[in-house]
A and B are shown apart, each in its own frame.
Chain A
Amino acid sequence: EDQVTQSPEALRLQEGESSSLNCSYTVSGLRGLFWYRQDPGKGPEFLFTLYSAGEEKEKERLKATLTKKESFLHITAPKPEDSATYLCAVQGPSTGFQKLVFGTGTRLLVSP
């Protein structure tokens, strides 16, 4: 069964204090690993898709990386508006390459 574990559960940073969020996964034949951002009362907002180990993608202050066992979301010099819950999800053959299996998320709070 595909599994996704995210850590830490919650992270509090000062504005400008860089850090990383972790997503460990167990899936045979990973098709894709997805990062979403979710603000309170809203649906998940798509950030990145990573397909193979070694791949990296960047968007503003965010950078996602992928290995064979885990993915990291690096946040460089965060701002208060980066505060949100960050969700990681995988898609693989056991899910028919269709549905996403999500972790429980990391709640990030960035203080000014």
Chain B
Amino acid sequence: GAGVSQSPRYKVAKRGQDVALRCDPISGHVSLFWYQQALGQGPEFLTYFQNEAQLDKSGLPSDRFFAERPEGSVSTLKIQRTQQEDSAVYLCASSLVIRDTQYFGPGTRLTVL
């Protein structure tokens, strides 16, 4: 079946612009996670949803970062007033149920100029 998909795959933004990154999880997966991966580093947790409820947003680096999953399926990660330090790959993962194996999408590479 189809895996996790993310769009766009690449995004270039000028400093100060707002961006929106989309994640389509595997159909039927209840849990959805966002991670940030800097070059040469492992992914770092940003936020987690169970269905439409955002249960943990402790990894969001600032109040410029906002995530939503209004219908319990597709999720959007929004970054307002982007800064150069926001440049990274943003990964989305989903799992069938809580604590189950997380399957990752291909990521969105964000470059802020």
Contact = CB atoms under 8 A, between A and B. Distances in A.
Given A31-B99, A91-B99, A98-B31, A43 B44 contact: no
A26 interface: no
Interface stretch (A12-20, A57-65, A72-80, A99-107): A99-107
A99 B48 contact: yes
Interface stretch (B63-71, B75-83, B101-109): B101-109
Interface core residue of A89, A91, A96, A97 (most chain B CB under 10 Å): A96
Contact of A45 (B31, B35, B43, B104): B104
A104 B40 CA distance: 7
A95 B105 CA distance: 21
A49 B95 CA distance: 14
Given A42-B107, A43-B4, A105-B42, A98 B101 contact: no
Given A46-B101, A100-B35, A105-B41, 10 more contacts: A43-B4, A43-B107, A44-B104, A95-B45, A97-B99, A98-B33, A99-B48, A99-B59, A102-B44, A104-B42
28 contacts: A31-B99, A32-B99, A36-B104, A41-B106, A42-B106, A42-B107, A43-B104, A43-B107, A44-B104, A45-B104, A46-B103, A87-B42, A87-B43, A95-B45, A98-B33, A98-B55, A98-B98, A99-B48, A99-B56, A100-B33, A100-B43, A100-B102, A102-B42, A102-B44, A103-B42, A104-B40, A104-B42, A105-B42
Interface of A: 4, 31-32, 34, 36, 41-46, 49, 87, 89, 91, 95-105
